[in-house]
Amino acid sequence: MNSELEELYQEVILDHSRRPRNFGELADAAVRVHGDNPACGDEIHLGVKFGSDGSLQEIKFTGHGCAISQASASLMTMKLKGRSRDETESMLHAFHDLVTTNTNDAPKALGDLQVMKGVRKFPQRVKCAMLAWRALEQALQQTVGEATVSTEIDSAD
Ligand code: ZN
């Protein structure tokens, strides 16, 4: 990756961490998931409201932590709002691959989320980038109620 591109990526991440999109409480959320990354001190509170067809009608978050964790959450909500459940799940897998594997051909569908691929060189940062997505994964499984996920506890499956 050339340095010009890296600078651009930095800018997108800083912009989203300073001015997160879809930031706030979702008053009528069907499911709320609290995500915790104690290794870095990041927290994400994700609220999702599903449409009658299971799509992500509304998705909002609050939280605090490092720029990577907050920017990843902001970019994620922008990308997934209004998406079907299938699209959301394939995006989740694509993003996980993006930040954990060494492939150079990131799926174009990820759009701005591709800025996160730099974290794959830093295992601790992968947790930051994945935090909002882990919360989302739990929200999709659960669909109603409240839950907590942590990057330090492996899921039961
Ligand atoms: Zn972090």
pLDDT (tens digit per residue) in 14-70: 999 999 999 999 999 999 999 999 999 999 999 999 999 999 999 999 999 999 999
User: What's the 54 CA to ligand 1 centre distance in angstroms?
Assistant: 30
**119 in Cβ contact with 99 (< 8 Å):** yes
Q: Rg (Cα) of the chain, in Å, rounded?
A: 15
User: What's the 133 CA to ligand 1 centre distance in angstroms?
Assistant: 13
**CA separation for the pair 48, 134 (Å, rounded):** 13
User: What's the 69 CA to ligand 1 centre distance in angstroms?
Assistant: 5
Of 58, 53, 62, which is closest to residue 25 (Cα–Cα)?
62
SS3 64: strand
Q: CATH classification of 3-150 is 3.90.1010.10, yes or no? A: yes
**CA separation for the pair 24, 94 (Å, rounded):** 26
Q: What is the pLDDT of residue 157?
A: 44
CA 9 to the chain's CA centroid:
16
Please report, as a single letter, which amino acid is at residue 43: E
User: What's the 126 CA to ligand 1 centre distance in angstroms?
Assistant: 9
User: What's the 37 CA to ligand 1 centre distance in angstroms?
Assistant: 7
pLDDT band at 8 (very low <50, low <70, confident <90, very high): confident
User: What's the 83 CA to ligand 1 centre distance in angstroms?
Assistant: 26
User: What's the 122 CA to ligand 1 centre distance in angstroms?
Assistant: 11
User: What's the 51 CA to ligand 1 centre distance in angstroms?
Assistant: 31
User: What's the 130 CA to ligand 1 centre distance in angstroms?
Assistant: 10
pLDDT (tens digit per residue) in 81-122: 999 999 999 999 999 999 998 776 677 889 899 999 889 888
**Structural domain spans, the chain:** 3-150
**21 in Cβ contact with 53 (< 8 Å):** no
User: What's the 67 CA to ligand 1 centre distance in angstroms?
Assistant: 7
Q: Could you give the C-alpha distances from 157 to 26, 132, 154, in angstroms and in order? A: 29, 19, 8
